[in-house]
Each structure stands twice: as structure tokens, then as C-alpha cells.
Amino acid sequence: TPEGNIPRISRLMALAIRFDELIRSGEVQDYAELARLGHVTRARMTQIMNLLNLAPDVQEELLFLPPTTKGRDAIGERGLRPIASTAVWDKQRRLWSHLA
């Protein structure tokens, strides 16, 4: 078992993917219902789901970040917001390379 904790952003990325599956399958109607079920605000749910706007290779890198062994996680969701709001994947990749 690797030492350390799975970075929070990795867990949030996995949640966003799972939540998207729930919506697509019809098990959950929309973000508002997910927010109610998860006891978070609709705004927070939108922030989490915006991770799906990231280029697929960036999403994959987030899912497989190394465990955090001490201190705070190196990458947080807030730092990814400007990248996720960029529509062009090549630009996202450049921004990501500066953050990672």
C-alpha cells in the first residue's frame, strides 16, 4: 500500500466522472439533485462538475497524481478553475503544465 493520502483533487475528479454517469443513466436528474444528495450547495456541485471540462489527458493526470505524504496537496480545485474555464484543450494543456 502506498504511503500518503490520495490528493483531494483526484477524489473530486473521480466524483465528477461518477456523478456524470449517474446523470447520463437517469439515476439522478440534475446537478441540483446531486447537490441535495451530497449535502453541498449547487454552486459547489457546479465547481466539481466543471472538472469534466478539462482535456481528457489532464483529467487522467489528476486521477493518477501521486499520494500526498506530508503537508498540503500540491494542486487544489480552486487553482484548476481558470484552466477548466478555458475552452481550448491545447491552451488547457499549456496552463496545466505550468501548474503541475
* Amino acid present at 1: T
> What is the pTM for the complete model shown?
0.92
Distance separating alpha carbons of residues 83 and 21, to the nearest angstrom: 23
pLDDT at 50: 97
The low-confidence residues of the chain, meaning pLDDT below 70, are 1-2
Longest dimension (CA), the chain: 40
Q: What is the pLDDT of residue 3?
A: 85
Residue 100 has what pLDDT?
A: 82
Residue with cell 481550448: 88
What number of other Cβ atoms are within 10 A of residue 61's Cβ?
Answer: 17
